[in-house]
Structure 1
């Protein structure tokens, strides 16, 4: 997660950054809660969605790992394209799981791997050569051992932009710097061929090791939410009652306003700087926005379409809120759908969408998404109040 002072100001609109934010419960309406939509069953189904999301992401990362291994064994343009395609496919699942963050769960508690998995923005020169500095980076420093343990220790060392691991380090290795105004980075596969570029052997090793570390971290998350794994987080979460419901709302609200609308869209819109773009090397930022918005929608509606096309559907927050205030539930559902639609309208490349004056069509599309996400965060606050959840914060619970 990008740590900028502006994020606090963005998040404060709907969710307190450090102080509890009191909520006024909406007037109850005379409706009956469907038998399946009890608080306990909503929490249990949420755990099912989380497990499925991480399982799908792990499956995608394993396919990425297979493509990376094949490419590293015999670098070619076709192999590089296959690895890029696998990275993009795996990100579709991962983006939706970001709705499961921000409340001190397995991914981002004090020992969680989120910083190794998805930290950004990234100083490319920390990892490898860049234009104007051909010997920069860990790849070109043969004194640095390229191992999982070492790269994990080096991640964000001496600066939050010193990203050494995760999705974006892998992205940079596959695409290289984005030096084009009309497309993504265009790293040559020959960067990984011995004799074509210095330290090609280390570049192959770096790509292999960072991908393996990503798989390890994602596997730890699937275990934390797997029902058969004794002593896992899921069992405690399912017993958490109202506190677990509160955490679910904190995750949705924090992603909606503070992270997606704030740090990922609003900061970039204000700076018009490619360096503030989330997936800048692959030009996949527009899809990051869509999948994040869909992740919120998945949790709210209790519905998730898996990577194999099958659908999970179960007791949802929407049903709980509808039993107290049907109009509010309907309004929140419509606003969340509008946010997804607005995000889907953002065009690639994102770094062109954010440039120009206030009347530029791209900037208007991004601003429309920000505005919709901001409104939905307010609706989520009201929805939480309608079912008796009166304290929401962006800090991790004790």
Structure 2
């Protein structure tokens, strides 16, 4: 694969004209921004910042996925309410870390033809990582339907190849891989999955036998595993296959995330080398175009009206993580100023302050649990919070257009 990438790299350059066009040996379209002025702004650092922020975000996504894998291993070694809760927390952290890297998938880069043929392009890989909405009954049992899903189809081997073949087999919602499959396996269709679903068969048999002994029943109720036995939903079967599926889908998720990270490695990564070979104006144009697509198509058209993390009831956190990723690119950190900081700090300080204030307001929409609500109410996203966050994102879209006008950039028409 490395030889293919190196060979294709000499033929393909960063394509600013639009996403998913056929590769062509054309130069990037020049951006209209004028970088004359204060030489201290060092506009060439825009390329470096784009590569740095993309690589760092993907490194963090992989590290969080490794933490998720470790938490799930602990859950399967010791299935109880505490390890299940830890796995759920790790899933939320991991998915948020991935979404903070999502911006860079909107860069108008054309993948090599060979990757597209092999199903390895960014958008093909994204489908294996983050397909939603999904049909939970395609994965595992639903209340009242204990024999549904891949888990309960004993004719289907749980190999990596088979799970990839089953992904989108009959319908886009027939999803067998990715974050939301793991989410369903950890929460269930109603957010109430019991950790007993992951007890090994021999453990269930042993616990059931011991609990039938009246002399040991009181002692058994004081242990986490026997407490699970009391709460096991009737009709839940195939725990061993469920365990195997959860392990397999988590391992494949990490493989797919690592594939994206490799493409942003500074010296060898295909995406990193394309950005490095572009002019600062072209890199800025690409990054601002990606920001526009993130706001308009991913947030306003898709995430905010939808329910992307429905099983865990944390969809609002998805939108916040996407905004955090955009904040890193636009405003950066103390050690790595963002793309807008050197361009606006001297000539447009008020506009820069608007960005800082508006992004801070949007990211302040974090959902807070209310102690006086029922579990069912907590599982339902707050309509008021969603409306408030949508309004903040619309303000960011307006601000993005104003900034593009100042910098004489053309944003893509995503409507």
TM-score by length of 1: 0.76
Check the 8 A contact 1:68/1:83 in 2, yes or no: yes
Distance 1:312 1:218 in 2: 26
Distance 1:320 1:379 in 2: 15
Q: Which residue among 78, 96, 99 is the counterpart of 2:100?
A: 96
Within 5 Å, give how 1:15-94 maps onto structure 2.
32-33=37-38, 35-38=40-43, 40-94=44-98
By how many angstroms is 1:352 displaced?
5.1
Query: Residue 177 and residue 345 in structure 1: after superposition, are their counterparts in 2 closer, same or farther (change >3 A)?
Result: closer
Q: Which residue among 160, 166, 173 is the counterpart of 1:154?
A: 166
Query: Residue 238 and residue 353 in structure 1: after superposition, are their counterparts in 2 closer, same or farther (change >3 A)?
Result: farther
Q: Which residue of 2 aligns with 1:8?
A: none
Which sits farther off after the overlay, 65-74 or 288-297? Answer: 65-74
Q: Which residue of 2 aligns with 1:344?
A: 366
Check the 8 A contact 1:254/1:394 in 2, yes or no: yes
Does residue 191 in structure 1 map to residue 197 in structure 2?
A: yes
Distance 2:175 2:337 in 1: 38
Distance 1:51 1:213 in 2: 20
By how many angstroms is 1:354 displaced?
11
Q: Provide structure 2 residue ranges, at least 5 long, that are not aligned to the other structure.
A: 1-17, 21-31, 205-235
Query: Residue 148 and residue 17 in structure 1: after superposition, are their counterparts in 2 closer, same or farther (change >3 A)?
Result: closer
Q: Which residue of 1 aligns with 2:28?
A: none
Q: Secondary structure at the match of 2:176?
A: coil
Q: Which residue of 1 aligns with 2:354?
A: 331
Distance 2:376 2:19 in 1: 29
TM-score by length of 2: 0.73
CA deviation map 1:171-223 (0-9, x unaligned): 11111122xxxxxx121122122445421111011101110011001111111
Q: Which residue of 2 aligns with 1:177?
A: 189
Q: Secondary structure at the match of 2:141?
A: coil
Q: Secondary structure at the match of 2:40?
A: coil
How many residues align? The count is 343
Distance 2:131 2:111 in 1: 12
By how many angstroms is 1:37 displaced?
4.0
Q: Secondary structure at the match of 2:101?
A: helix
Query: Residue 243 and residue 68 in structure 1: after superposition, are their counterparts in 2 closer, same or farther (change >3 A)?
Result: same
Does residue 392 in structure 1 map to residue 412 in structure 2?
A: yes
Does residue 243 in structure 1 map to residue 282 in structure 2?
A: yes
Q: Using CA pairs below 8 Å that are at least 6 residues apart, which structure has the higher relative contact order?
A: 1
Q: Which residue of 1 aligns with 2:317?
A: 287
Check the 8 A contact 2:139/2:150 in 1, yes or no: yes
Name the larger-Rg structure: 2
Q: Which residue of 2 aligns with 1:313?
A: 336
Query: Residue 322 and residue 394 in structure 1: after superposition, are their counterparts in 2 closer, same or farther (change >3 A)?
Result: farther
Q: Which residue among 365, 373, 388 is the counterpart of 2:393?
A: 373
Q: Which residue of 2 aligns with 1:216?
A: 255
Q: Secondary structure at the match of 1:101?
A: helix
Does residue 144 in structure 1 map to residue 164 in structure 2?
A: no
Q: Which residue of 1 aligns with 2:134?
A: 122
Q: Provide structure 1 residue ranges, at least 5 long, that are not aligned to the other structure.
A: 1-15, 19-24, 179-184, 269-276, 304-310, 357-361
Q: Which residue of 1 aligns with 2:228?
A: none
Query: Residue 204 and residue 149 in structure 1: after superposition, are their counterparts in 2 closer, same or farther (change >3 A)?
Result: same
CA RMSD of aligned residues (A): 3.4
Within 5 Å, give how 1:355-374 maps onto structure 2.
362-374=382-394
Check the 8 A contact 1:31/1:323 in 2, yes or no: no
Query: Residue 106 and residue 154 in structure 1: after superposition, are their counterparts in 2 closer, same or farther (change >3 A)?
Result: farther
Q: Which residue of 1 aligns with 2:403?
A: 383
Check the 8 A contact 2:103/2:326 in 1, yes or no: yes
Check the 8 A contact 1:77/1:189 in 2, yes or no: yes
Check the 8 A contact 1:175/1:282 in 2, yes or no: yes
